[in-house]
Structure 1
């Protein structure tokens, strides 16, 4: 049984992770939070105490850390006695933190694929470019690494596995992410603007007819009629889970759809056409060298600041189609989250909440041994049922809609 958690990162998602770890510290043990800016970790800890989130008395401590410094990460894992590392920092640090876990034997959990700062929208295979190269080493060392254990990727991978387990053949997996909430700002992104924009400035990849297909962003859209949030427009986008799901279900078409309003599309298009979403440095007339994308990030609202006034709900789910006993079947497996309720509970908005709760559930399953795989796995390679059971209990209930109606997943 593994205990003691090190959380790397101090943004909105890390705040949710810290609160949920605190609420379950009887299972997870000591909690440590590390970031380049220790003051941000201190603020998260203050919010945990303000909400009286600790289930029982225990350690919750802040640390300063450069997560790109392998030796420093290794040292902090040793100093804290952390046996589980939840990486919700920048995706630029994934490989360093993973290497530190392999060196120390700590279990590793992240919520997104690794990225290099100077590369945007790399060509598939994304996991194959980085994390999966360490898969054999994890198995050799007996190190558990659960990749992409946020919501998407993460819970949606488990949704796909749950639906696929009820079919003889899977024909298609369509992941739909709709945020029907409102933050009241002229323009803002729901998570790190730099990472948000990097997802949408390059080629959109989907897996269809047994091969990678390429489209431009906002080229392919369709209206979805979803539970609670109703009819919403979503556009095919590239996303982490498309790669791992296509590797595990190669005969199925795998697509990711994200909801965007006209205002977001218009602002995004102007920024992109002006070159303000470029990751390449430029020199100003004054001789200063700046990265346009980082300048845009600096002037936009901090996603964490959106939480107090955020209203509305999210709906994220998988429409999975296939056959069972020679008959066509389809399941929509989904979750609905509420921004205001998330803020009331943990001080974060709903997007951070949906991303931050699942890695804590994964950590608890590693702690109890059910997901302590002692090798590298993507979420769809693990049994989804204990995952759903925990998510139901700690804030993200799973539901299913099919020809028989709409119900809890285990009804």
Structure 2
């Protein structure tokens, strides 16, 4: 049985992870939180103490860490005797943290595909450019790595696996729909790291259609759906992490990702992008200063974690799946609805951070008890979904379904 968890990151998702690890520290053991800025970690620990999240008495350790420094990360793993690393830092550090985990033989979890600062929307499949190149090393080291185990990617991958295994004989399409129907009462803000958020939308939009990669422009294709709880919303075809593994691991000819955006967001984004303010490439000012426009925009926008206190409304994220069962056409929507206010009351974070932060802790629990401790690298859809979804039901992210029988919560005994 593995225990002792090192959480890398100091943002809103890391706060959720810290709280959920604390709520399960009878299984996960000593919890350590590390990021480049230790004071952010200390602030998170304070919220854990204020909320009384520790299941058994204990204290979360905090450290300053530059996770791009592989020897420093290895040293911290050894110092804290961590056996599971949950990486919820910037997507720029994935490969470095993975190296440290291979070298120390500890399990690795992340919630997004690795990115290089000077590259966006690379050729698909994105996992093939980075993480999958290390799979043989994890297998040789007999070390577990679970990739993209947030919500999307992550839980939606498990939804897809469940549907393919239990609800269909053949699947024609999986459309992942992500709607945030909340209101943070700011003029303009992103729900997670602005730099990572904008990089998803400033390049090409890749989707898997007719068993091949298809390229579109952002906001070129849209759809409108009447969804559970949140009602009718428009979403736009967007490139996203999970498409790049689902297209490889599931025999489904069409896999697409759709994200909801309001007209105000689209207008502001379009202006920023048109002016070149979302570029990841450095420019020089008249004074000779080198500036990356995207990093400047990130610096002046609200910190996503600061949105939590006044956030209201709900999210609805799920998989709309179409195919055949017993010779008949079939359609289901497997989904979760999360409430921003409920998330804030429980862990002091907004709902987007909550949906991203709970799943890696569920995965850590499955590694701890051996269920998902597979001794190699895998994406979520390559693993049995029922134990994972069962834990999420218990931890605040219930799985629901809408089909010919209506809407209901699913149970996984």
Report the TM range for the smaller structure's normalisation. over 0.9
Matching residue of 2:344: 343
Quote how far apart the aligned CAs of 1:184 are.
Answer: 0.2
What's the offset of the Cα at 1:120? 0.9
The aligned residue for residue 278 of structure 1 is 279
Q: Is 2:174–2:252's contact at 8 Å kept on the other side of the alignment? A: no
1:154, 1:137 → 2: CA distance? 22
Distance in 2 separating the partners of 1:320 and 1:107: 32
* Aligned ranges 1:140-159 → 2 under 5 Å: 140-159=140-159
Q: Please name the residue that 1:396 is paired with.
A: 397
The runs of 5 or more residues in structure 1 that have no matched partner are: none
TM-score, normalised by the number of residues in structure 2: 0.99
State the partner residue of 1:98: 98
Q: Residue by residue, what CA displacement relative to the aligned partner does 1:257-304 show, whole Å, maximum 9, x if unpaired?
A: 000000000000000000000011111112111000000001100000
* Inter-partner Cα distance in structure 2 for 1:373 and 1:399: 28
Question: Per-residue deviation at 1:123?
Answer: 1.4
**Distance across 1 between alignment mates of 2:405 and 2:307:** 38
**Unaligned runs of at least 5 residues, structure 2:** none
Question: Does the 8 Å contact 1:399/1:409 carry over to 2?
Answer: yes
SS of alignment partner, residue 165 of structure 1:
helix
In structure 2, the partner of 1:329 is: 330
TM-align CA RMSD: 0.8
User: Structure 1 stretches (4+) deviating beyond 4 angstroms?
Assistant: none
- 1:401, 1:202 → 2: CA distance? 34
The corresponding residue for 1:32 is: 32
Q: State the SS of the aligned residue for 2:366.
A: helix
TM-fit CA distance, 1:320:
1.0
Structure 2 partner of 1:111: 111
Q: Which residue of 2 aligns with 1:85?
A: 85
Q: Secondary structure at the match of 1:200?
A: coil
Q: What SS does structure 1 have at the residue aligned with 2:264?
A: helix
CA deviation map 1:207-239 (0-9, x unaligned): 010100010000000101100000000000000
CA distance in 2, matches of 1:44, 1:67: 18
TM-score by length of 1: 0.99
Inter-partner Cα distance in structure 1 for 2:44 and 2:71: 25
Shift of 1:59: 3.8
Residue correspondences, number = 411
Report what 1:302 is aligned to. 303
1:331 shift after superposition: 1.4
Task: Give the match's secondary structure for 1:286.
Answer: coil
| Match of residue 130 from structure 2 | 130
CA–CA distance in structure 1, aligned partners of residues 396 and 215 of structure 2: 36
In the other structure, the counterpart of 1:244 is: 245
Q: What per-residue deviation string (whole Å, max 9, x for no partner) do you get for residues 288-324 of structure 1?
A: 1100000000110000000000000000000111112
Q: Distance in 2 between matches of 1:281 and 1:395?
A: 42
Residue matched to 2:267 = 266
TM-fit CA distance, 1:52: 0.7
1:29·1:58 contact (CA, 8 Å) conserved in 2? no
Mean Cα deviation higher: 129-138 or 248-257: 248-257
Q: CA deviation at 1:410?
A: 2.4
What displacement does 1:350 show?
Answer: 0.3
Q: Is the 8 A contact 1:172 1:322 kept in 2?
A: yes
